[in-house]
């Protein structure tokens, strides 16, 4: 008997073709979903805006609504005379110290900014980061383990408690090197007498020295002496700190400078002079990457629905 080779039935070919098309569509859909996930996880968090809200304080123009406040342990305040409280003079905010007698008479001075509102395009939107830049000079010299004088920068969000800036928030290196998120430093070159950024070199310890009034424990504090410092001269130096926030809506941001005398002897002209301060806010802005991710998601969804509706 002679057997002839018969072609497979048409329905069988069509079934195999549908299976192959479905497999290809599944592979493409999986690849697209994977690319979308990569965009959302890695690309979008990097798409951040340049600073769009700036609060600038050039103290050559006046006190600019900053508020001085003396504070003292056991109710003892630093005296008013002799520049021992924050005073606006000589085109800057300045405070100078003379020795204070007794280890329990720790005194200090707050200098608090007005309300800094991330208004404009950021109104009601999450803030991604804040940069604090200022030009200052100081004499917080000490040979002691616990310095008798120090300066600390703290901040408050939406009326909450003041929090010190950690060591990790402070930038190092050259002041004319652009910061990755915010770009060029506003201090360069007008208010800076040297190019290297000055960072706090002292952190109040815990344990037996945990009550270093009025410093806040865990916060970086300035100590030492800047070049050529005196009550009437010296070189302004740049300091910059950047804080990252988890997409927090900020309607009230304040900066406070804490000048502390911890109750021991310090040089007669020890003090802190602040010439210029600027606070920049930035917000996340996915921009074109978000549109691209949305488009790819749409294509993936379209392919998925088309495959589901195919007979």
Quote the crossing angle between the two packed helices 288-309 and 10-38, to the nearest 10°: 160
CA torsion, ordered 46, 47, 51, 53, to nearest 10 deg: -120
* pLDDT reported for residue 32: 57
* pLDDT reported for residue 57: 96
**In this structure, what are the phi and psi dihedrals at residue 171, rounded to the nearest 5 degrees?**
-90, 145
∠ at Cα 61 (162, 175), nearest 5°? 65
* pLDDT reported for residue 74: 73
Rg (CA), the chain: 30
* pLDDT reported for residue 149: 81
* pLDDT reported for residue 193: 84
Pairing of strands 163-164, 149-157: antiparallel
Task: Identify the segments of the chain with pLDDT beneath 50.
Answer: 40-50, 101, 287-302, 304-305, 308-309
Query: Hey, what are 257's tokens?
Result: 């400078």
* pLDDT reported for residue 251: 84
**Which letter does DSSP use for residue 214 in this model?**
T
Integer distance in angstroms from the first to the last C-alpha of the chain?
41
Task: Looking at the structure, give the CATH architecture of the domain made up of residues 50-282.
Answer: Sandwich (2.60)
Give the pTM.
Answer: 0.75
Query: In whole angstroms, what is the distance from residue 206 CA to residue 212 CA?
Result: 9
Query: Hey, what are 14's tokens?
Result: 């069509």
* pLDDT reported for residue 123: 65
């Amino acid at each position: 008997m002679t057997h002839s080779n018969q072609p497979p039935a048409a329905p069988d070919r069509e079934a195999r073709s549908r299976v192959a098309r479905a497999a290809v569509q599944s592979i493409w859909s999986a690849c697209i979903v994977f690319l979308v996930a990569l965009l959302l996880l890695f690309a979008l968090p990097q798409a951040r805006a340049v600073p769009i809200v700036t609060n600038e304080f050039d103290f050559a123009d006046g006190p600019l609504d900053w508020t001085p406040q003396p504070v003292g342990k056991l109710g003892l305040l630093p005296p008013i005379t002799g520049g021992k409280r924050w005073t606006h003079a000589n085109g800057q905010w300045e405070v100078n110290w003379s020795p204070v007698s007794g280890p329990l008479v720790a005194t200090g001075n707050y200098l608090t900014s007005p309300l800094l509102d991330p208004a404009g395009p950021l109104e009601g939107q999450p803030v991604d980061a804040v940069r604090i830049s200022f030009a200052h000079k100081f004499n917080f010299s000490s040979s002691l383990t616990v310095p008798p004088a120090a300066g600390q920068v703290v901040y408050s969000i939406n009326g909450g408690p003041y929090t010190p800036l950690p060591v990790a928030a402070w930038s190092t290196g050259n002041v004319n090197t652009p910061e990755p998120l915010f770009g060029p430093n506003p201090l360069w070159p007008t208010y800076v007498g040297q190019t290297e950024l000055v960072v706090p070199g002292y952190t109040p310890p815990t344990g037996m020295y945990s009550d270093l009034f009025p410093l806040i424990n865990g916060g970086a504090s300035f100590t030492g002496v800047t070049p050529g410092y005196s009550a009437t001269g010296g070189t302004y130096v740049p300091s910059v700190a950047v804080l990252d926030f988890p997409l927090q809506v900020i309607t009230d941001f304040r900066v406070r400078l804490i000048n502390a005398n911890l109750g021991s002897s310090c040089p007669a002209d020890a003090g802190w002079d602040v010439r210029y301060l600027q606070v920049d806010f930035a917000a996340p802005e996915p921009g074109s990457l978000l549109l691209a991710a949305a488009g790819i998601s749409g294509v993936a969804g379209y392919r998925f629905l088309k495959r589901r509706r195919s007979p």
